Amino acid sequence: MLDVLEEKETGTKLESKVPEGPLAEKWAKHKFNLKLVNPANKRKYEVIVVGTGLAGASAAAALAELGYNVKAFCFQDSPRRAHSIAAQGGINAAKNYQNDGDSVFRLFYDTIKGGDYRAREGNVHRLAEVSVNIIDQCVAQGVPFAREYGGALANRSFGGSQVSRTFYARGQTGQQLLLGAYSALSRQVANGKVKLYPRTEMLDLVIEGGKARGIITRNLVTGKIESHSAHAVLLCTGGYGNVFYLSTNAMGSNVTAAWRAHKKGALMANPCFTQIHPTCIPVKGNYQSKLTLMSESLRNDGRVWVPKTKEIAEKVRKGEIKAKDIKEEDRDYFLERRYPSFGNLVPRDVASRNAKNVCDEGRGVAPTGLAVYLDFADAIKRDGRKVIEAKYGNLFEMYEKIVDDDPYETPMKIYPAVHYTMGGLWVDYNLMTNVPGLYALGEANFSDHGANRLGASALMQGLADGYFVIPYTLGDYLATIGPADKIAVTHPAFKEAEQNVQDTIARMLAIKGEKTAEEFHRQLGHIMWEYCGMARNAEGLTKAKKMIQELKKEFWSNLRVTGTDLELNPALEQASRVADFIELGELMVDDALNRNESCGGHFREEYSTEDGEAKRDDENYTYVAAWEYKGPGQPEKLHKEELKFETVKLTQRSYK
């Protein structure tokens, strides 16, 4: 099935299909060269879209508008609940409405640099180009972005950039963008071009004749296993941050669809590239089920600091003194001190790592020792409480609800937490995986953020892929195969896949062991966070690999799933997802072990500069590591896609 990958002894070369020519003309040229499906023929094609977040909902809506018949699936009870909804801060676009020197090229450059030179130039430039169309489209849909008094759109700044290009709707930008995409999707449901399958989870991909032909799903209410066939399958299933158990992802966010596609042949690229977001509410107790993000936009006005000395920090932890008792000269505004030009607005990976370092030095401020202050006192003094309230009111409220502490009075306590995964299914410039007819969009693919994503770029990428890339690139594939190239759900390939899914479920239910999926998940999360989290080293990773393998063995012999398969059974859903997380965890460790360099979110302690910054190895690792599944218990095979930089010069990232 991987005939696109011409096998050689040393692994294969992956073809990114980024078109030749000057960077700024690649996408325009490519669009012209792509085949078109004539309007009358579009209705003869069926497309499956799995996931209804920003990427999925926008893709489903845009494709249906073109005339394709779309089936949209989500595990939530409504497409509107996909986790894109929780994105707070904003969405970037190179509009240069602020006249502050922004341009498509600057957004491209910031993103490539922010990603520590591990993303494709062509993809990223395209992303920057279409970013401006996204804002237009969303405004036309009625997304209530923040405005100036005169009625023009307002912007704010985000980490990793020195211009203001982030559009926002209070602290609920993701919600408003998703509801915009959801409304476009709903319109197509009403038009009869999209059929919705809520509370339906994809459990397998069907491949026949080397092409993606459809999916196997489980109806989460009745438990029924069903087959759906189509000309193409789009996985818009988000990231896999929940492999760490505790993350800012939703409880249901999972890797299952992507992982099952991976097991059917799709390559998983750069799985170890995970983003640890610096500003989250710290962990409080061992019952904790998830972590809550405090938008990066807070770093516009909040100052990050810890006490200068361990002794003072110790007193804070014991509750003997409070933040406001600490004198100005006893405070260390460590980001401002180390990175004077970007200050508190350094990229996420840098901010997170520095927070971890000061806590490791014993200067953390929560009883656990794992928290730094994010202080608004100066901003409130400068702008007044009203202004701060207007900007961040809902975030402050949320913080107070969770922590029971008033951030207007006492500084917030924050700590880094897993937030986003830059890695994902390998895709070419057309967003197609190595499996013909199988596409991956949004966070589910690996393509645009390299080793670290800049703030407010996830929303941009999800919508770029869905609204402005896939409508062009999918047509090229469909026109090539023709409307007749589809198999029925009665085909043995579907029956076999259905049987496999049923067998796996039956196997889980039959174990009747002692430990719940929740317990396995928690255990996996501990291993991943400890050894494959903010800082990694070869020794720890090797240890982690062994621990994960043991955990996997125990999972399949000691799992307890209550209830049956033919009913609504959240315990079964969870077990099925945790099984995939465990396998993914092992691959992440392999990937992290393979990459003997530090870049972006992947920080290998062995590879750092003298002042503790990430040290890349451009000579040996300027490639995308794409892994091929080789069967149960077999090591995965590494394929490399060389990253060619024609426009930017690789330098050490500096935010000083």
Partner 1 sequence: MDIALKVWRQKNSQTPGKMVDYKLSDISPDMSFLEMFDVLNEDLSHKGEEPVAFDHDCREGICGSCSMYINGRPHGPQTGTTTCQLHMRSFNDGDTIVVEPWRARAFPVLKDLIVDRDAFDRIVQAGGYVSVNTGSAPDANEILIPREVADEAMDAAQCIGCGACVAACKNASAMLFVAAKVSHLAVLPQGQAEHQLRAERMVAQMDAEGFGACSFTGACSVECPKSISLDHIARLNREYLGAKLASNNA
Which residues are the active-site residues?
348
Nearer to partner 1, 120 or 156 (CB): 156
Distance CA 253, CA 240 (A): 7
Nearest distance from C-beta of residue 404 to partner 1, angstroms: 6
Q: Which of 24, 189, 487, 511 binds partner 1 (CB under 8 A)?
A: 189
How far lies 100's CA from each of 58, 145, 156, 519, 586, in Å?
30, 20, 12, 51, 45
Residues in the chain: 656
Residue 528, CA atoms < 13 Å, CB-side half-sphere:
31
Stretch 269-308 residues interacting with partner 1 (CB under 8 A)? 284-285, 287-290, 292-293
Question: How, if at all, do strands 412-421 and 274-280 pair?
Answer: antiparallel
C-beta of residue 443 within 8 angstroms of C-beta of residue 462:
yes
Listed ranges 71-79, 261-269, 314-322, 593-601: which one lies at the site for partner 1 (CB under 8 A): 71-79
Rounded distance between C-alpha atoms, residue 450 and residue 597, angstroms: 14
Q: How far is the CB of 374 from partner 1 (least distance, A)?
A: 17
Q: Which of residues 14-53 bind partner 1 (CB under 8 A)?
A: none
Q: Per-residue b/e over 551-590, b at no fewer than 16 CB within 10 Å?
A: bbebbeeebbbeeebeeebebbbbbbbbbbbbbbbbbbbb
- Specify the stretch interacting with partner 1 by CB under 8 A; choose among 408-416, 418-426, 488-496, 569-577: 569-577
Task: Report the phi/psi class of residue 197: left, alpha or beta, with left for phi > 0 and alpha for psi in -120 to 50.
Answer: beta
Pick one of 216, 266, 276, 398: the residue that binds partner 1 (CB under 8 A).
398
Q: Which of residues 204-223 bind partner 1 (CB under 8 A)?
A: 221
SS3 state at 479: helix
- Which residue stretch of 237-245, 463-471, 475-483, 541-549 sits at the interface with partner 1 (rule: CB under 8 A)? 463-471
Closest CA to 468 of 15, 29, 31: 31
* φ, ψ (nearest 5 deg) of residue 156: -135, 170
Q: Confirm or reject binding of residue 57 to partner 1 (CB under 8 A).
A: no
- Confirm or reject binding of residue 95 to partner 1 (CB under 8 A): yes
Contacts of partner 1 in 73-92 (CB under 8 A): 76-83, 85-86
Out of 184, 203, 351, 441, which residue is the one contacting partner 1 (CB under 8 A)?
Answer: 184
100 binds partner 1 (CB under 8 A): no
For residue 465, the minimal CB distance to partner 1 (Å) is: 12
Q: In this complex, which beta carbon is closest to partner 1, that of residue 139 or of residue 489? A: 139
Binding residue (CB under 8 A) for partner 1 from 27, 68, 158, 182: 182
Shortest distance (Å) from residue 61 CB to partner 1? 7
Pick the stretch among 174-182, 337-345, 411-419, 612-620 that binds partner 1 (CB under 8 A): 174-182
Report in angstroms how near the CB of residue 47 gets to partner 1 at its nearest. Answer: 15
Residue 338 C-beta: closest distance to partner 1, Å: 31
Rank residues 337 and 512 by Cβ distance to partner 1 and give the closer one.
512
Report the site for partner 1 in 498-517 (rule: CB under 8 A). Answer: 514, 516
> Does residue 397 belong to the site contacting partner 1 (CB under 8 A)?
yes
Q: Is 215 helix (H, G, I), strand (E, B) or coil?
A: strand
Beta carbon nearer to partner 1, 342 or 467? 467
Q: How far is CA 352 from the centre of its chain?
A: 17
Contacting residue, 22, 367, 563, 612, with partner 1 by CB under 8 A: 563
How far apart are the C-alpha atoms of 477 and 461, rounded to whole Å?
21
Q: Is residue 284 within 8 Å of 290, Cβ to Cβ? A: no
| Residue from 61, 313, 478, 584 binding partner 1 (CB under 8 A) | 61
Cβ contact 357:369 at 8 Å = no
Question: Based on CB atoms, which residue is closest to partner 1, 12 or 461?
Answer: 461
Structure tokens at 516: 């719940």
The answer to whether residues 574 and 581 touch, using CB atoms and an 8 Å cutoff, is no
Residues 6 or more apart whose Cβ sits within 8 Å of residue 365: 306, 307, 313, 316, 317, 323, 371, 372, 373, 413
Within residues 315-354, the interface with partner 1 by CB under 8 A covers none
Q: Which of residues 414-453 bind partner 1 (CB under 8 A)?
A: none
Task: Using CB under 8 A, count the residues that bind partner 1.
Answer: 84
By the rule CB under 8 A, 186 interacts with partner 1: yes
Residues from 226 through 265 that contact partner 1 (CB under 8 A): 248, 250-252
Positive or negative, the Cα torsion across 223, 225, 231, 232?
positive
Asked if 410 is part of the footprint of partner 1 (rule: CB under 8 A), the reply reads no
Shortest CB 479 distance to partner 1, Å: 19
CA torsion, ordered 486, 487, 488, 493, to nearest 10 deg: -150
Stretch that binds partner 1, among 498-506, 536-544, 568-576, 581-589 (CB under 8 A): 568-576
CB 429 within 8 A of CB 456: no
To the nearest whole angstrom, how small is the minimum distance from the Cβ of residue 57 to partner 1?
12
Buried b (16+ CB within 10 A) or exposed e, 508-521: bbebeeebbbeebb
Instruction: List the one residue from 24, 44, 65, 361 that touches partner 1 (CB under 8 A).
Output: 65
Q: Measured between alpha carbons, how far is residue 501 from residues 73, 125, 220, 254, 630 in Å?
A: 17, 40, 14, 17, 19
CB of 456 to partner 1, least distance (A): 16
> For residue 233, what are the contacts with CB-CB under 8 A and spacing of at least 6?
47, 48, 50, 205, 212, 213, 214, 215, 437, 438, 439
**Minimal distance, residue 172 CB to partner 1, in Å:** 6
> How far apart are the C-alpha atoms of 62 and 340, rounded to whole Å?
44
Determine the residue type at 86: A
Per rule CB under 8 A, is residue 399 in the interface with partner 1?
no
Q: Of the candidates 9, 33, 99, 190, which one interacts with partner 1 according to CB under 8 A?
A: 190
Interface region with partner 1, contact rule CB under 8 A, candidates 54-62, 112-120, 305-313, 378-386: 54-62
Residue closer to partner 1 by CB (options 347, 462) is 462
Least distance from partner 1 to the Cβ atom of residue 68, Å: 13
Backbone angles phi, psi at 278, to 5 degrees: -70, -30
Shortest Cβ 217–partner 1 spacing (Å): 17
Residues 117-156 contacting partner 1, CB under 8 A? 133, 135-153
Quick one: 175 or 622, whose CB is closer to partner 1?
175
What is the per-residue burial (b if ≥16 Cβ within 10 Å, else e) of 62-72?
A: bbbbbbbbbbb
> Per rule CB under 8 A, is residue 196 in the interface with partner 1?
yes
- From candidates 44, 187, 195, 308, binder to partner 1 by CB under 8 A: 187
